Amino acid sequence: MSGAEIPEDLALPSGSIGDMIHRFLRYLERERNASEHTLDAYRRDLVQFVDNVLGADLKQPTTDEAINARAARRYLVRLSEWNLARTSTLRKLSALRSFCYFLVREGNLLVNPFTGLRRPKQKRNLPHVLSVDEVRSLLDAPSRYWRRAYSSDCALRGEPTFAAARDCAILEVIYSGGMRISEAIQLELDDVDLISGVARLRGKGKKERLCVLGKPALSALREYLAERARLGFAGRRERGILFRNQRGGPLTVRSVQRQFKVYLSESGLPVDYTPHALRHSFASHLLDAGADL
């Protein structure tokens, strides 16, 4: 597979394949509220299709002769040759199907060659369900880890009580609220009502939803906020962010995932478990307790 960028200085004629890719991405961003991650993935997929399947220049006009059923079938063959994960294959087909639908709507294609194209079946791997004892050990892991780390290495920088309180609170809200990492780290101070326990989340596609946090999560949040206030983050530029790093800036999904593996190891659990297992365990424990989901 070749490069996946459209050169900034490339002059693209109106109606050319490259021009239509640009217009399609703008449509996704403005009309569908697509994230930057989604836009980057679609951009790569579309340029790879042009390079590897059409063998065309981005300046070539968008026509039914260029993008047709034969090209779609050839793309399926290429995808199988690349030995991609099923999820990647499905995403790439979805990107092309959406792009061609856009081209039909704009009058550049008569038919969408990817409509009705048989897709590979996606194997569904259910996340592991942690037991209540495993969850309890995992939720306590930040306190154990940071206490031991700082007692054994005095040269470590930072605030062990802050890091432990923050990470305990993150794990608690992910579990109690059934949150994604991205939803947890996007929380702002005003999003959580510590009295009612209601939290406002920002999910995929910038959609908002409400969840109710349990008493352990609210208690962990109060402890974290006390540590946060002690370090004097109130006047920092990232004022609205609830969870911060030790420099006062925002956390990233990757940094939380990395630390999650540390806490899995601390708890004696397989490090290939993901935070989604914590979310899934939350729902399963509710059902075990008799909740009607």
Residues 6+ apart with CB under 8 A from 180: 174, 203, 275, 276, 279
Residues 6+ apart with CB under 8 A from 257: 181, 274, 275
CATH 1.10.443.10 domain residues, the chain: 132-288
User: 17-106 has which fold?
Assistant: DNA polymerase; domain 1 (1.10.150)
- Looking at residue 10, what is its pLDDT? 39
- Looking at residue 65, what is its pLDDT? 80
Distance from the first to the final alpha carbon of the chain: 44
- Looking at residue 140, what is its pLDDT? 93
State the Cα–Cα distance between residues 189 and 222, nearest whole angstrom.
12
Output the CA–CA distances (angstroms, integers) from residue 234 to 15, 187, 194, 195, 216, in the order listed.
51, 16, 18, 21, 24
**Tokens read off for 174:** 């992910």
Q: Are 264 and 176 in contact (CB under 8 A)?
A: no
- Looking at residue 151, what is its pLDDT? 67
Q: Are 169 and 217 in contact (CB under 8 A)?
A: yes
Q: Are 54 and 101 in contact (CB under 8 A)?
A: no
Q: Which residue has the tokens 């409509």?
A: 115
Query: For the segment 217-258, what is each residue's pLDDT rounded down to a tens digit?
Result: 999 999 999 988 888 765 444 458 899 988 888 899 999 999
How is residue 185 annotated by DSSP? H
Q: What is the pTM of this model?
A: 0.56
Q: Has domain 132-288 been given CATH number 1.10.443.10?
A: yes
- Looking at residue 8, what is its pLDDT? 43
Q: Are 224 and 168 in contact (CB under 8 A)?
A: yes
Question: CB burial class (10 A; 0-12, 13-18, 19+) of residue 172?
Answer: buried
- Looking at residue 289, what is its pLDDT? 54
- Looking at residue 64, what is its pLDDT? 77
- Looking at residue 1, what is its pLDDT? 43
Q: Dihedral sign for Cα 261, 267, 271, 275, please.
A: negative
CATH 1.10.150 domain residues, the chain: 17-106
Which residues of the chain register pLDDT less than 70?
1-15, 56-59, 62, 118-127, 150-159, 204-206, 233-239, 283, 285-293
